[in-house]
Amino acid sequence: MRMLSAALTLVLLAAGSARAADSCDVPNNLVETFARLPRVGFSVKRDHKLEIVVLSAAPKLSGEASNLKSYPYYLESELRERLKGTDVHVFGQSEPRKTIIEVIKDLPRLLAERQPVLVVWQTGTVEAMRGIDPDGYGRALDSGVAALQNGGADVVLINQQFSPRTDFMFDGGPYTENMRWVSQTRDIPLFNRYEVMKYWGETGAFDLTALKNDGTYEKVHRCIGRLIADLVMRAASLSGTVER
């Protein structure tokens, strides 16, 4: 076992140093997915448009921070750059501090108003902080994903981020496990934001422990936007530019 973990560490470190050119890069196994996004591929290739909703329970930034750009913004610009000729819209829908039960109630309205082809759903943080039963969380998430799929949208799940300073206060592990269960049974991608950011923290790509904003916010969100764009392109089998 010691051999295995030592080897694993070496592989991770080697992967980290070999790709130091771009601080966004992470080992493939952290962002790989076997699931597909057929509706996204179809919408881009046939209708040349891509309507995306990013759903989260994060509160809006306030004060000085309110001008900071978040990953939905970067996701949109990344996808626009890669999908020339496709009309890409990313709409950020934030339901601050709401647990999954409340968020699910809003899904039909969201589907009707936005008619998204893809819903990128970040969830789990509020539930972990409140200590909601992880099993019940998994069932609720499953019904939410079913509602979105029945409403004509592909889904990408995102788990809680890696927050080293609050890591000991609540444990997101069981919620991520339930998300993984939903992602496997429903065959949808799960973007493991926690592991990705933890990797950045451990390799020193970003300092994730800063007490105040030191510019890391936009760097991290730019990278997350880019990695999600990568994942969408791959899972929807899209190449850099789409022929018209």
Partner 1 sequence: MLPPPPAGRDLRLDFFRGLSLWFIFLDHVPSNIVSWFTIRNYGFSDASEVFVFISGYTAAFVYGRVMKERGFIIGAARILKRAWQIYVAFVFLLVFYFAEIAYVSSHFSNPLYTEEFGIFDFFQKPDVVLIEALMLRFLPANVDVLPLYIALMMFFPPVLWLMLRQPDLTLLLSIVFYFLAKAFDWNLVLYPYDHSWFFNPFAWQLLFVIGSWCALGGARRISPILYSRPVIALCMIYLVLAAPLQLSWLFPSLTGRMPGWLMILPLDKTGLSPWRLFHFLALAAVVIYYVPFDAKFLRSNWARPLILCGEHSLEIFCLGVFLSFSAHFVLTEISSLIAMQIAVSLAGIAVMVTVAALMTWYKDIERRGGKPPPSATQEGFEGVTAS
Least separation in angstroms between CB 205 and partner 1: 13
**Joined tokens for residue 80:** 């626009």
In angstroms, the Cα distances linking 31 to 14, 43, 132, 183, 231 are 17, 23, 27, 14, 7
Give dist(CA 6, CA 102) in Å, integer: 44
Q: Residue 89 in 3-state DSSP?
A: strand
Least separation in angstroms between CB 219 and partner 1: 10
Residues that bind partner 1 (CB under 8 A): 1, 5, 9, 28-30, 32, 34, 56-59, 61, 65, 68, 97, 99, 125-126, 129-135, 138, 161-171, 174, 177-178, 180-181, 184-185, 198, 201-202, 208-214, 216-217, 220
Least separation in angstroms between CB 150 and partner 1: 20
Least separation in angstroms between CB 28 and partner 1: 8
User: Which C-beta is closer to partner 1: that of 86 or that of 203?
Assistant: 203
User: Which C-beta is closer to partner 1: that of 9 or that of 115?
Assistant: 9
**Joined tokens for residue 204:** 């020193």
C-alpha torsion 226→230→232→237, nearest 10: 160
Hey, which residues does 165 pair with through a beta bridge?
none
Least separation in angstroms between CB 242 and partner 1: 27
Hey, which residues does 89 pair with through a beta bridge?
51
User: Which C-beta is closer to partner 1: that of 15 or that of 30?
Assistant: 30
Q: What is the DSSP letter of 100?
A: H
User: Which C-beta is closer to partner 1: that of 117 or that of 227?
Assistant: 227
User: Which C-beta is closer to partner 1: that of 113 or that of 135?
Assistant: 135
User: Which C-beta is closer to partner 1: that of 6 or that of 115?
Assistant: 6
Q: Which residues contact 23 (CB under 8 A, 6 or more apart)?
A: 200, 205, 206, 219, 223
DSSP string of 173-219, one letter each residue: HHHHHHHHHHHHHTT--EE-HHHHHHHHHHHTSS-TT-SS-SSHHHH
Least separation in angstroms between CB 100 and partner 1: 11
User: Which C-beta is closer to partner 1: that of 43 or that of 56?
Assistant: 56
Least separation in angstroms between CB 202 and partner 1: 6
Estimate to the nearest angstrom the gap between the alpha carbon of 32 and the chain centroid.
13
